[in-house]
Structure 1
Amino acid sequence: MPVPLPTTDTDWTALRNFAALRGQLRVSLTPHCNLKCWFCHNEGDVPPPFSHLHRDAKPRPMEIGAGDYVNVLRELINAGLRRVYFTGGEPLASKLARPVLTRLPIRAPDVSYTLITNGLLVRAHQEWLATTALDKVKISLHYFSDNSFRAIAQTRSGIAPVLDGIEAAREVFQRVELNTLVQRENEHELRDILAFALERRLPVQFIELVDTEFNAGRKSSAVGARDIIDHLRTLTGDEEVEVFGVGQGRRIFRVDGIEIDVIQRQLGRHHVGQCGTCPVRSKCVEGFWALRLDQAGGVQPCLLRDDLRMDIRPLLGTAEQLSAAVARHVAAFTEGTL
């Protein structure tokens, strides 16, 4: 359970409600990646494929260190956020990955730590990853052949290291999951990806595209999840729709006890006060479901609105002030006064 909060005049209700609705704290360890997937949103920073084409468009610089990450995690978890996801870019490409992930500050039954990775570096880092308190590794598998890997990730490499990374994760972690963005380039492989996951008893999540200004040029690549949904219905009658909590609704299928999620636009999303007057709401398919901590010391409640980002660097040495400031920021966002 969350620890007692410091006695201040801060109203913690909005932050605690967000956490109770399964809101995530997404922690970006680096904006850089060893792939250039065309759809990347880079947690609201400039994505690698865009910076590769436009050398003057650079992501935010690294402004905080491993100790800062660990301290912020401790305070925000104590403030109520219990679901932590480490992202990038590619988090394992960051020099901070090891000193942060091997020093996870709070271990409790209701606190979970998940690493989201493209899998390419898992084998190289397997030995120290096995010593961490990570609860889960989630590996992106948006491709199932060398051709689709090269088309989607814009790389010259083959897919074998990704598949080996999945096996390396399975060797040291009890919980390994896959996620797959549904797109025209992999539409013919979705059933193969599903069969691969089911054979290894790995949960998998199929996701429809999240639109951003960076991937607008490839919007024609986005396809719906109807075909994979229809296929799943031939495999199981165990299907339910979940619209509880924050973020997008999802269809949940269970095939031989393995959970398969499909994130669909048509199931709606969770919007709050600030969203009511948001100028980009028509483009938003996610709503408010994550607080994002970036490598430059910023926290923002929305993928598409970096103008709502709060700089927490001046507060890094003042634990109680930091968590209270984040709570006030979330309250202002949900009340529409930010």
Structure 2
Amino acid sequence: MVSALTDLPMPGLSGGAVDFARRGGQLRVSFTPRCQLGSWFCHNEGEVPPRITHHDRTIQPRRRALAPADYLNAINTMTAAGIRRVFFTGGEPLLSPAARPVLQGIPTHQPSQYTTTLITNGLTLVKELPWLGDTTLDRVKVSLHYFSDASIAAIAEGKPGDIAKIKAGIEAAIDVIPTVELNLLLQEQNAHEVMDIIAYSRHLGTGLQIIELVDTDHNAGLGGAKIPSVDIASYLRAIATAEQVVTTGTGQGRRVFTVTGSTGPMTIEVIDASLGRHHVGQCTTCPARRKCIEGFWALRLDSAGTLAPCLLRTDLRMDVTPYSDDPAALLSAVSAHLDAFTEGTLR
């Protein structure tokens, strides 16, 4: 995908932003910081994680500042200018009143132009599928970090979950959404269920992405030792028909295994920090670099109306609310912000 992007024109963008698009960068759009679960590892796209608010109601995330039209202006502007992957996140995005009008407002597009992915915990997926199926959404990715109610409780600090409801949503979505995928964060609380989740993914024929933990200030020391992916990779290698190691582009390197699922060949990706990561100028002297395994990975547009090129550096946020009705000014400001970030001069 990255090599294909290098030949695409990126009108209106200066050097740094063009480089961002060519590296296969993504736009992560957070509809809300709220979530039914309070998973111990949640970084909440740089916002106050639900776990913290669940424990202390005086600690609240920032107020929502963007209307659906503002989201659509930003998305349409940045996809027209070269962003090729848009992810809708939260918190839990389907809890937001903005989710439906924004997703219904995304224009018809081809995957060669850009793709849209909804990342959800799946708890309300069955209820929301009737209208989701009428959108231009390309993909739903369900976070399946557990395979039992007991594991949900362990990961979400006792918050009730319903694995049967989540599985029902996944299985129903397969008939409605063009592509359904799962993602799994390796941790001590789910180590005993990883093979079950892999088997479930193969049974459904969905793609699966297995992720190593990203340490942040919010989750450090909470969930036990980090679980490396080496044993999982060894297992997948034994059953795979092909393996590809990808170390180009943005973020961490990954191992891509082709395995046989119920409907034919399918892909299981393993994000492996040992394969290295990509950094840019701003990272050279960054005090958070030793904790960072994402590198220059995504633009994050949050519900409070700020856009950041980095997960761990909230001080690098840019306020986009002054440009809500001026796409040209928005594009110019974002381009300048990214230029400064990639050159290491952003303050």
TM-score w.r.t. length of structure 2:
0.93
Q: Which residue in the other structure is 1:74 paired with? A: 76
Q: Which residue in the other structure is 1:290 paired with? A: 298
Residues 156 and 92 (structure 1 numbering): CA distance in 2 closer, same or farther, change over 3 Å?
A: same
Is 1:5 aligned to residue 11 of structure 2? yes
Q: Which residue in the other structure is 1:255 paired with? A: 259
Is 1:136 aligned to residue 139 of structure 2? yes
| 1:96-175 equivalence runs, <5 A | 96-105=98-107, 107-108=109-110, 109-154=112-157, 155-175=159-179
Q: Deviations over 1:131-170 (max 9, x none)?
A: 0001100000000112111111232233111111101211
How well do the aligned residues superpose, as a CA RMSD in angstroms? 1.4
Contact in 2 for aligned 1:144/1:189 (Cα 8 Å): yes
Is 1:199 aligned to residue 203 of structure 2? yes
Cα distance in structure 2, aligned partners of 1:217 and 1:169: 36
SS in 2 for 1:216: coil
Q: Which residue in the other structure is 2:66 paired with? A: 64
Cα distance in structure 1, aligned partners of 2:124 and 2:175: 14
Query: Percent of aligned positions with the same letter in both sequences?
Result: 50
- Number of residue pairs aligned between Structure 1 and Structure 2: 334
Amino acid aligned to 2:230:
R
Q: Which residue in the other structure is 1:335 paired with? A: 343
Contact in 2 for aligned 1:46/1:58 (Cα 8 Å): yes
SS in 2 for 1:186: helix
SS in 2 for 1:102: helix
Amino acid aligned to 1:188:
H
Of 187, 190, 194 in structure 2, the residue corresponding to residue 186 of structure 1 is 190
SS in 2 for 1:132: coil
Cα distance in structure 1, aligned partners of 2:344 and 2:141: 33
Amino acid aligned to 2:40:
W
Give 5+ residue unaligned stretches, structure 1: none
Residues 106 and 318 (structure 1 numbering): CA distance in 2 closer, same or farther, change over 3 Å?
A: farther
Cα distance in structure 1, aligned partners of 2:90 and 2:341: 24
Contact in 1 for aligned 2:149/2:163 (Cα 8 Å): yes
Cα distance in structure 2, aligned partners of 1:333 and 1:229: 34
Amino acid aligned to 1:142:
H
Cα distance in structure 1, aligned partners of 2:273 and 2:232: 15
Give 5+ residue unaligned stretches, structure 2: none
Is 1:264 aligned to residue 272 of structure 2? yes
Of 212, 215, 221 in structure 2, the residue corresponding to residue 211 of structure 1 is 215
Q: Deviations over 1:243-279 (max 9, x none)?
A: 1101110011110221100001111111000000101
Residues 4 and 269 (structure 1 numbering): CA distance in 2 closer, same or farther, change over 3 Å?
A: closer
Shift in Å at residue 237 of structure 1? 4.8
Is 1:309 aligned to residue 317 of structure 2? yes
Amino acid aligned to 1:201:
G
Contact in 1 for aligned 2:188/2:223 (Cα 8 Å): no
Cα distance in structure 1, aligned partners of 2:56 and 2:147: 29
Residues 106 and 173 (structure 1 numbering): CA distance in 2 closer, same or farther, change over 3 Å?
A: closer
Q: Which residue in the other structure is 1:176 paired with? A: 180
